[in-house]
Structure 1
Amino acid sequence: MKYIDVAVGVILRDNQTYVCLRASDKHQGGKWEFPGGKVEEGEAHEAALGRELQEEVAIVTTFCEPLIMIEHDYGDKCVRLHVYTVTGFDGEPTGAEGQPGKWLALDNLNYDDFPAANREIIDALMARQVKR
């Protein structure tokens, strides 16, 4: 099975994270997600993250660190999510491609509002919060 490599940014500020709503005509449409996108051939994961966050939410990443790597089979496609926490950035996140976005309190992250592969991200994020 061929995996699609995706760089994902969990943008954090004041116990909140910035999430975007997937277009209803897209895979897993109508669900909230952490912004990011496909890693291009030969591109480093962190470079892909910076490029995607600039394209999707109009920020420039100044500090990020790996959170978790997840492989998930949706049945119709397999994804490998390279997830980073983004705690340093220039600009204010906004739906640069027309998608709705919002700041969401970490306590309000709900599995059912996100694609199945994101559940492990939420768990890793909660575990990270407990350690701090």
Structure 2
Amino acid sequence: MLEVTCAIIFKDNHVLIAQRSANMILPLKWEFPGGKVEAGESKAACLAREIKEELSLEISIGKGLTDVIHHYSDFSLRLYPFICEYESGELNAIEHMQVKWEKIANLMAYDWAAADVPVVKELMELYQ
């Protein structure tokens, strides 16, 4: 089972969401950015590294939300979501089709990757 982190990055009462590129697994689905935990790496270190590599941003990592275990047809993952704050950097979509700052109230309007849906729902419950 893949171990994956994701960052719910807050800035000015908006959160950062990312659309997967057409050539990625789960093409064009929306997600909270993050990535695979490497051997010997903490979840926080993974998240900071992935956000720097994929988006050119520095973040502070806060509390974790409920882990999600999801089984897709060809792989399974355990997703570790974390509430984060934007610290610095110029947003740059290096691997994603697009990234955008969105209001929490509007999140359900997007076509989310299935593993991210419980995270979106928990986030909406916490912040509305």
Q: Does 1:20 align with 2:22?
A: no
Paired residues for 1:1-132 under 5 Å: 3-97=1-95, 99-110=97-108, 113-130=111-128
CA drift at 1:98: 5.9
Alignment CA distance shift 1:112-1:20 (3 Å): closer
Moved over 4 A (4+): none
User: CA-to-partner distance for each residue in 1:61-117, whole Å, 9 max, x for gaps?
Assistant: 234221221110012110110110112422243313464211111111126511111
Does the 8 Å contact 1:62/1:90 carry over to 2? no
Does the 8 Å contact 1:111/1:119 carry over to 2? no
Query: Any stretches of 5+ residues in structure 2 without a counterpart?
Result: none
Does the 8 Å contact 2:60/2:86 carry over to 1? yes
Does the 8 Å contact 2:28/2:97 carry over to 1? no
Task: Give 1:126's aligned amino acid.
Answer: M
CA drift at 1:20: 1.3
The whole-number CA distance in structure 2 between the counterparts of 1:73 and 1:30 is: 19
CA drift at 1:123: 1.1
User: CA-to-partner distance for each residue in 1:9-51, whole Å, 9 max, x for gaps?
Assistant: 0111233111111011221111111110110011100110000
Task: Give 2:14's aligned amino acid.
Answer: Q
How many residues are treated as equivalent by the alignment? 128
TM-score (norm 1): 0.88
The whole-number CA distance in structure 1 between the counterparts of 2:86 and 2:24 is: 29
Query: Any stretches of 5+ residues in structure 1 without a counterpart?
Result: none
Task: Give 1:12's aligned amino acid.
Answer: F
Question: CA RMSD for the aligned pairs?
Answer: 1.6
The whole-number CA distance in structure 1 between the counterparts of 2:117 and 2:96 is: 25
TM-score (norm 2): 0.90
Task: Give 1:60's aligned amino acid.
Answer: E
Task: Give 1:10's aligned amino acid.
Answer: I
